[in-house]
Copies of this chain bind each other. A is one copy, B any other.
Amino acid sequence: MINLDTLNLDKVDPAGLYHDIANIGKNLYEGWESGYKLPVPSHYVKCKKIVFTGMGGSGLAARLVISLTKKSSRLPIQIVSDYTLPNYVDNETLLVAISYSGSTEETLETFIEGYKRGARLIAFGTGGKLEELARKYQVPFFRHQQNICKQPRMTISRHLGAMLAILNKLGATEIDSRNILKTVQILENTYTSSWGFNIPSENNLAKKIAKEAFDKIPVIWAAEHLDEVAHCYKSLFNENAKTMSYYEPLPEMNHKSLAGSEFPKPLIRNIYHIFLASQFTHPQNQKRVKITAEFYKKRKYATEVVLFNEADSPLTEIILSLSLGAFVSFYLASLYGIDPTPIEAISDFKEKLNG
């Protein structure tokens, strides 16, 4: 196995994806500040439903917003990752479309349809057709600078910060600026001392998890505000490390997947169950994480339970877990001997789809 403590960063990561990972905290704060500055028409405040549309990496931040606010939101809030909007999207709906490239066909189709229905529109991206439409429709466009590796998935914390700021301005959420600042501070302390490139394997949780995940399928479990973080892990493992990965929301998958733990017997040694534990979920969900991990361990599966004692809020748990997962995906790519940035399989697929 490749030694993670002697990697040449310029060689294994020519596009600089590592630096985008290291910037997750900084980008969260910058996104938050920029989001507050985005002018949003005053009649947007009175919306009755919130719908995000976005695909793949461009949709990840919206998923985290939903995870964080689904319990507290006074409005129904959901994401559509498809070509078609639900019928109930109307002129009382805030529709936020996100496409990093500005050319994602599903997102453009829903944005145009949202306009026809009189929805209150906001667009996120770096330019392209989506920006043109936003200009034509005279609706807010949240532009951000390209990130270092130029991959949509690495916009996640910047978009998260911006979306929370915008929803705050509209009165849909109540996130405190101090919570954002504190989160960034805790993250900086944690990752630089625990997961960074220079921390040797024996003290580095991210490297440890990456080594265990090598030649296994990582399956990530989490509940409530962390369930979409588990989804992000799948996404980052797929796209950065080019490995299969799945996620299991709790408590739901206790009612299904546990039964499906017997077969195929030869693959038990190739599955790695990772649990994102929490101090802030329902007490029974905290217990479920513990007992589910024991369940799999007893059945000879590789398991890992991650809990951040230093987290002081659900948002902090989201950001710490996200950062850890991003570092793991980076190290796992290195173990597989591949560049984490390009995703040729998806580019080839898109060509075939529209060729």
- The residues of A with any CB-CB pair to B shorter than 8 Å are 49, 55-57, 59, 70-76, 78, 81-84, 86-88, 105-106, 214-217, 223-224, 234-235, 237-239, 241-246, 249, 251-252, 254-264, 266-267, 270-271, 282, 284-285, 287-288, 291-292, 294-295, 336, 338, 343, 345-346, 349, 352-353
Contacts and interface: CB of A to CB of B under 8 A. Distances in A.
B263 A242 contact: yes
A202 B4 CA distance: 51
Given A81-B251, A252-B81, A291 B257 contact: no
Contacts of A84: 71, 224, 282
Contact of A254 (B78, B260, B349): B349
Contact of A88 (B73, B83, B87): B73
B244 A264 contact: yes
Given A78-B78, A86-B76, A217-B267, A346 B258 contact: yes
Nearest to A58: B255
Contacts of A72: 87
Contacts of A81: 249, 251-252
A242 B261 contact: yes
A88 B75 contact: yes
